[in-house]
Chain A
Amino acid sequence: KAGVTQTPRYLIKTRGQQVTLSCSPISGHRSVSWYQQTPGQGLQFLFEYFSETQRNKGNFPGRFSGRQFSNSRSEMNVSTLELGDSALYLCASSFTGATRNEQFFGPGTRLTVL
């Protein structure tokens, strides 16, 4: 079974631009969560999607948005990029949205904002 895949793996953008990151969950998984990892703030929850609906949202500005498609693939978008958005963005998938389920993480997309 293929794992969680994220594209692209690396991205360089400049301030003010926008970016879209993609996550393909494990086949059959319906929940996708996104996390931002930075040296200063650590791992922080961005949002979770389950069956195309956003179920939870972390404490991030509205410039961060996401969506989930009917095949469970998810995208997150960051508009008007700032230097502080440079981070490793991790996606995790789970079979259902139940807390007790194990989440499988992808390799991440490393975003650098210049």
Chain B
Amino acid sequence: AQKVTQAQTEISVVEKEDVTLDCVYETRDTTYYLFWYKQPPSGELVFLIRRNSFDEQNEISGRYSWNFQKSTSSFNFTITASQVVDSAVYFCALSENNAGNMLTFGGGTRLMVKP
């Protein structure tokens, strides 16, 4: 069965610091998809990125970057020069190829960025 682990339940940083959120996953499928979502206090989950299991290229989008390593089953997320607006709960999720749109979420990491 699939599983996603986010070992860091809460991280606190000061504005402009870099921060990395860890995500480790388990699946027996060879084809799967990994996601990161942001949940601000309003509650709505905001999609950040999707990566399929055959694409191990790192991705950068502005201050956000993602490091996918199949060898260690990890899909880590780094925010560079954090800002107060980055404060939220971040979820890593996994979807196996034949599971339709069913997402298995990690427990989430609450990021607090202090001014």
List A residues at the B interface (Cβ < 8 Å): 31, 33, 35, 42-45, 48, 50, 55-56, 58, 88, 90, 92, 94, 97-108, 110
Listed by A's residue number, 14 A-B pairs whose Cβ atoms lie within 8 Å are A31-B100, A35-B105, A43-B91, A48-B100, A56-B99, A92-B45, A99-B32, A99-B33, A99-B100, A100-B52, A102-B50, A105-B46, A107-B43, A108-B44
Chain B residue with the shortest CB-CB distance to A102: B47
Contact (Cβ within 8 A) A45 B102: yes
User: How far does the Cβ of B52 sit from chain A's closest Cβ, in whole Å?
Assistant: 7
Determine whether the beta carbon of A99 is less than 8 Å from that of B101: yes
Q: Knowing A42-B107, A42-B108, A43-B91, say if A103 contacts B47 (CB, 8 Å).
A: yes
Residues of A within 8 A of B33 (CB): 99-100
B45 adjacent to A90 (CB under 8 Å): yes
Chain B contacts to A: CB under 8 angstroms? 32-33, 37, 42-47, 50, 52, 91, 93, 95-108
Return chain B residues, CB-CB under 8 Å to A44: 105
A93 CA to B88 CA, complexed, in Å: 22
Question: How far apart sit A35 and B45, CA to CA, in the bound complex (Å)?
Answer: 11
The answer for the CA separation of A33 and B102 in the assembled complex, in Å, is: 7
Best-surrounded residue of B37, B99, B100, B106 (most CB of chain A within 10 A): B100
**Beyond known contacts A97-B101, A99-B101, A102-B47: 13 more, CB 8 A cutoff:** A35-B103, A35-B105, A48-B100, A98-B100, A99-B96, A101-B101, A102-B50, A103-B101, A104-B47, A105-B37, A105-B47, A107-B42, A107-B44
